[in-house]
Structure 1
Amino acid sequence: MRRAFLLLLTVVYLAGVAWMTLRPSVYGSGTSELLWRALDAFARHDETSWITFARVEAAANVAMFVPMGMFPALLLPKRFWWVGIVVGFAATVGIESYQAAYLSATRFSDPQDLVMNTLGAALGAAFVGLALPRRRRRPAQSRSKAAAPVW
C-alpha cells in the first residue's frame, strides 16, 4: 500500500513538473504581476533588497527538484539512494533540451537550471539516503504469523 501511494504521488509530482517546465509560459499574467510586485516591494527595503528574480528562480528550481531526488530514493532499496540524483540530472537535461528545441521563442535553456535542479535532486536523495533511518524489514514468516515456541 505504501509503495502504491508513493507511485501515485510520484506521477502527480511529475505531471506538475511537466506542466511547469514544458509549456510555452511559466506563469500567467496574474502570477507574473504578483511576483514582480513582490520583488519590487523587496527591492525598496535594504533588509530584503537581496531578494532578486534570479535568486527566487534559483531557489524555486532547487525546491521543485527535491522530490525528484526523494521519490526514487524512497521507492528503491536504501543502497540506491543516489539514483535520485541521476534521475534529477537526466530529467533536467531532457527538459532543457525540449525547451531549447521547441520553446525557444518563449523559454530559454539555462545551464544554471541544470545545476540548481540537480542540486535539489541531490538534497532530496541525500535526505532519504543519509538522514532517514534505515527501514527495517521483517522476514515474510514473521509478518504472516508468529512462530510457535519450540519446547
Structure 2
Amino acid sequence: MRRAVLLLATLAYLAGVAWMTLRPTVYGDGTSELLWRVLDLAARHEETDWITFARVEAAANVAMFVPMGMFPALLLPKWAWWVGVVVGLVATVAIESYQATVLSATRFADPQDLVMNTLGAAIGAAFVGLVLPRSRRSRRRGRSPRQSPAW
C-alpha cells in the first residue's frame, strides 16, 4: 500500500514539474504581476532588498527538485539512494534541451537551472539516504520485534 501511494505521489509530482517546465510560459499575467509587486515591495526595504528575482528563481528551482531526488530514493533499495541525484540531473538536461529547442521562442535554457535543479535533487536524495536511515535505526531500538518498519 505504501509503495502504491508513493508511486501515485511521484506521478502527481512529475505532472506538476512537466506543467511548470514544458509549457511555453512559466506563469500567467496575474502571477507575474503579483511576483513583481512582491519583489518591488522587498526592494523598498533595506532588510529585504537582497530578495531579487534571480534569487527567488534559484531557490524555487532547488525547492522544486527536492522531491525529484527523494522519490527515487524512497522507491528503490536503500543502497541506491544516490539514484535520485542522477534522475534530477537527467530530468533537468531533458527539460532544458526541450526548452532550448521546442520552446526557444518563449523560454530559454539556463545553465544555472541545471545546477540548482541538480542541487535540489541531491538534497532530496541525501535526506532519504543519509538522514532517514538514522531516524529509522533510532526508532527500531525503541520498538518491539514484531512491529513493522515505519516506511
TM alignment of 1:71-150, pairs within 5 A:
71-133=71-133
Structure 2 counterpart of 1:87, one-letter code: V
Describe the superposition over 1:74-94 as per-residue Cα deviations: whole angstroms up to 9, x where unpaired.
Answer: 000110000000000000000
- Deviation of 1:56 (Å): 0.1
Q: Unaligned regions of 5+ residues in structure 1, if any? A: 137-141, 144-151
Describe the superposition over 1:32-56 as per-residue Cα deviations: whole angstroms up to 9, x where unpaired.
Answer: 0000000000000010000000000
Q: Partner of 1:37 in structure 2?
A: 37
Distance 1:61 1:54 in 2: 11
- Deviation of 1:133 (Å): 2.3
TM alignment of 1:63-74, pairs within 5 A:
63-74=63-74
Q: What CA RMSD, in Å, does the superposition of the two structures yield over aligned residues?
A: 1.6
TM-score (norm 1): 0.89
Please state whether the residue corresponding to 1:120 is helix, strand or coil: helix
Largest Rg, 1 or 2: 1
Q: Unaligned regions of 5+ residues in structure 2, if any? A: 138-145
Distance 1:52 1:105 in 2: 25
Please state whether the residue corresponding to 1:50 is helix, strand or coil: coil
Please list every run of at least 4 consecutive aligned residues from structure 1 whose deviation after the TM superposition is greater than 3 angstroms: none
Aligned residues: 139
Q: Partner of 2:143 in structure 1?
A: none
TM-score (norm 2): 0.89
2:19 equivalent to 1:19? yes
Distance 2:127 2:49 in 1: 31
Describe the superposition over 1:56-102 as per-residue Cα deviations: whole angstroms up to 9, x where unpaired.
Answer: 00000000000000000000011000000000000000000000001
